[in-house]
Amino acid sequence: MHEQDWLGARFAEHRSHLHAVAYRMLGTTAEAEDAVQEAWLRVGRADTSAVENLAGWLTTVVARVCLNLLEARRARREDTAGALPPEPDRPRPALRPVVPEDEALLADSVGVALLVVLDTLTPAERLAFVLHDVFAVSFAEIAAILDRTPAATRQLASRARRRVQGAAAASEAGRSPKREIVEAFLAASRAGDFAALLDLLDPDAVALEIRGAHEVAAFFAGRARGARVALVQGVPAAVWWHRGGPKAVIEFTVRAGKITALAIDTDRRRLAGLDIVVLPVAAR
């Protein structure tokens, strides 16, 4: 019991840090709290006699728990590919007292925009980026968690970093009247709001082989459930993101505040070459 008490005290000392790691990995306070609790159960069953760097070891335990949760989450989304993934929630009060150190950790690099971008990464990319770029964990340590080489792990983090940096650069560019129109169109499409769609479309709007606002509105009503607002080549558009990559892009031509044309591209080779940054839903 003495050793268990000592371990519990050390775990409590690092709890704020572990919670911050889990929050950045998972995107919600509730899941982060669950991950920390699961990590404590694993720690309690483990032999820590050979552990030299307890803080680093605890971080890897939490990271492994989070990786399992992310992989399970991704599997569930692949089973329900047509549904729109939920936006990550904002931090809510924890069940434990929050101290200034907690708030500082949670406030740094955990904005909703970043979490939306992280949500498009694979679990391995997300883990590599968060642990290395946010918490300065070495690639050798991360490689052991992912069962990959340090070089492969470095590539994962680099790929994730480019997306995150692209999102940061796009945050200002994404604020435009066209983005508002795209968001309104997707919202109306998901809701099956024919009148709202009709109001956004030019009377002579064209999509695929469909011509006329009524016909286009009827086609899209209830259809864009899995689409997200994105910058495609720096221009507001819509993208259906599935299994770690874009499966369809909808580009909008807008004149005088009305949508005159919608182009839908599903060619994998073309989509792979596009610069796509998924954007968070704008606050209203």
* Final residue in a domain of this structure, among 156, 172, 188: 172
DSSP state of 1: -
Domain count, the chain: 2
Domain holding 183: CATH number?
3.10.450.50
Average pLDDT over residues 77-104: 40
Q: Highest mean pLDDT: which of 21-25, 112-116, 182-186?
A: 182-186
Q: Say if residues 39 and 58 touch (Cβ distance below 8 Å).
A: yes
| 193 against 27, higher pLDDT | 193
Comparing CA positions, the residue from 197, 196, 263, 198 lying closest to residue 233 is 263
Cα separation, 25 vs 210, in Å, equals 43
Examine the pLDDT at 272 and tell me if it is beyond 70: yes
| 283 within a domain of the structure (yes/no) | no
Q: Is the pTM of this model over 0.75?
A: no
Q: What is the pLDDT of residues 42-69, one digit of tens each?
A: 988 887 777 888 888 899 999 999 999 9
* Final residue in a domain of this structure, among 155, 172, 189: 172
User: Which amino acid belongs to residue 163?
Assistant: R
Residues 166 and 181 in one domain: no
Q: What is the pLDDT of residues 146-183, one digit of tens each?
A: 999 999 999 999 988 887 776 655 555 556 788 899 99
Helix, strand, coil percentages, rounded to 5, for the chain: 55, 15, 25
Residue 102: which domain range?
2-172
Residues 26 and 161 in one domain: yes
In order of 31, 117, 179, 190, the CA distances from 184 in angstroms are 30, 21, 8, 10
Cα separation, 84 vs 232, in Å, equals 19
Residues 147 and 250 in one domain: no
| 284 within a domain of the structure (yes/no) | no
Examine the pLDDT at 253 and tell me if it is beyond 50: yes
